[in-house]
Amino acid sequence: MVLGLQPDHRGALEMLGGALLSLDRAAEATNQYQKLAELAPESSAAWYGLGRSYESLAVRAFDKLQKTAPESAYWLALVADARLRDRQFSSAFFLYRHALEKAPEMRGLHAAVAEIYRKTEHPDWARTEEEKELGLPQPDCRTQSFECQFREGQFNTLVNATKGVNTPESLYWGARALNELALQAFTRLGQLSPSLEQHELKANIDSGQKKYHEAAAEWSEALNLSPTDKQVQKQLAISLKFSQDYTGALEILQSLLQGQPASAELNYLVGETLVDLQRVEEAIPLLKRALTHNPKLLAAHKALARALLAAGRAAEAIPHLQAALATDEDGSLHYQLASAYQASGQPGLSRQALLRYQKIQRSAAAAREAAIREAEITPP
C-alpha cells in the first residue's frame, strides 16, 4: 500500500486522475493513477486511466517529433507502427519501406516488414527481411542508450531519461516506450473482472477500426454495468448511429436531450439522426437550435444544409454550406452548393462552385491512384 493512503482515498485518486487527464495534464494524471494502481491493483479505473495517460503522453511525443522532424525515418516508423496496430498492413508496409530508404541501418524496420509479410501470407519474403534484420550491427549502448533501454524493457527508465530531451531520437524512443507502457496497462485491465472500463476500451478499439456494430455491443455491455451513465448512453447512441440503427440511436439521444435541452451537441445529434431517417422538417428546428448554442459547430451547419436541401429550401441552405466548406474532403459540399446556387437563380456562383468541385474531384482521384500504388505489398 502507498504510504499514507487508505482505501477510502481510492475514489479521490480516481477523480483527481480523471480531472487531470481531462485538462490535458497527462503526466500528473499518470502519477495519480500509479498511486491508485499500487493502492488497489484490482482497480479497473486505475489501469484504464494509466493506459490512457501513457497514450496521451505518447501522442504528445509524436506531435513534437512531427514538428521537429517531419518525414524523418523516426516519424515514418511511428506512423507505420500505428497503422500496423490497426491492421492497415498495406499502408504500414509503404511507410516502413519509405523509412528504410531514409535510414537503411535503422533497427526494427526489417522486422516490422517481416511481420507484415507473415500476416499477409508471404513467409518466404518474411524470412528474407528477418535475415536482413539479423545482419544489422547491434546498438552500442554507450552511445545508443535509449534503444538499449527499450530492448531491455526498461520503459519507465527510458521515459524518465527522455524527459526534456527533444531530439528526434529521444522523441521516437520515448513515444515507443510510452506506447508499451500503455499496452501493459491495458493488458492488466483485460486480466481483471469485467468492468465498464474494459468495455469502453474495447468499444474505442472497435470504433477506431470502424466496427461500429461491435462497438455498440460493447457500449451496451458497459451500460448494463452503469445504467445511469450519460456518457456511456451517448457513446452507445453514436455507435448505433454509425451502424445505421438510426431508430435505436434516436430513442437514446432524445432521452438525453430532454435532460440537457441547451446542449449544442445533443441538438445536433438528434437533428442529424432525424435527417438520416428523412424526417427533415422535425430536424431543422433542432439543428438551428444547435447552432444558436454553438455557431461554430460545422457538423451542424452541414446537417442543416442537408435538411434544408431535402426540404426544397435551397437558398436557406447556402450560408450553411458555405460555413461547412472547410470539412469538404471529396467535393460533395461544393457540388451541393453549386446546385443550391443554381436552384436559387445564381448561375454564375453555381459555375464557380462547380469548378471548385471538379478540382477537388481531380485531386481526390489522384490521391486514390497514389493510394492504390502504395497499397501494393511487394517482395523484398
pLDDT at 11: 87
Domain-embedded: residue 296: no
Q: What is the mean pLDDT of residues 166-190?
A: 97
Q: Grid coordinates representing 311?
A: 426540404
pLDDT at 3: 42
Domain-embedded: residue 186: yes
The C-alpha angle 303, 304, 308, rounded to 5 degrees, equals 120
| CB 179, CB 81: distance < 8 Å | yes
**Enclosing domain of residue 100:** 8-190
Q: What is the largest CA-CA distance in the chain?
A: 75
d(CA 365, CA 232): 39
- CATH for 172: 1.25.40.10
Domain-embedded: residue 62: yes
Q: What is the mean pLDDT of residues 292-299?
A: 97
Domain-embedded: residue 270: no
Domain-embedded: residue 111: yes
Q: How far from 13 is each of 8, 43, 184, 193, 273, CA to CA, in Å?
A: 10, 11, 20, 21, 38
pLDDT digits (tens, 9 = 90+) for 87-116: 889 989 999 999 999 999 999 999 999 999
* pLDDT range class, residue 59, cuts 50, 70, 90: very high
Please say if the pLDDT value at position 368 is more than 80: no
Quick check: helix, strand or coil at residue 222? helix
Domain-embedded: residue 324: no
Please say if the pLDDT value at position 4 is more than 90: no
* pLDDT range class, residue 86, cuts 50, 70, 90: confident
Please say if the pLDDT value at position 277 is more than 70: yes
Quick check: helix, strand or coil at residue 268? helix
Mean pLDDT of the chain: 94
Burial class of 71 by CB neighbour count within 10 A (0 to 12, 13 to 18, 19+)? exposed
pLDDT digits (tens, 9 = 90+) for 28-54: 999 999 999 999 999 999 999 999 999
Q: How far from 278 is each of 45, 274, 283, 302, 368, CA to CA, in Å?
A: 41, 6, 9, 15, 31
Residue 88 falls in which region: left (phi positive, over 0), alpha (psi -120 to 50) or beta: beta
pLDDT at 7: 53
* pLDDT range class, residue 288, cuts 50, 70, 90: very high
Domain-embedded: residue 327: no
CA atoms within 13 A on the CB side of 349: 13
Q: Grid coordinates representing 321?
A: 454550406
Enclosing H/E stretch for 224: helix 212-225
Name the residue with cell 499518470: 30
* pLDDT range class, residue 363, cuts 50, 70, 90: confident
Q: Give the number of domains in the chain.
A: 1
**Nearest-10 Cα torsion for 218, 221, 227, 233:** 20
pLDDT at 1: 36
pLDDT at 369: 74
Give me the DSSP letters along 74-113.
Answer: HHHHHHHHHHHHTT-HHHHHHHHHHHHHH-TT-TTHHHHH
Domain-embedded: residue 97: yes
Q: What is the mean pLDDT of residues 325-351?
A: 95
Q: Looking at 105-109, 136-140, 373-377, which range is the least confident one?
A: 373-377
Please give the DSSP secondary-structure letter assigned to residue 303. H
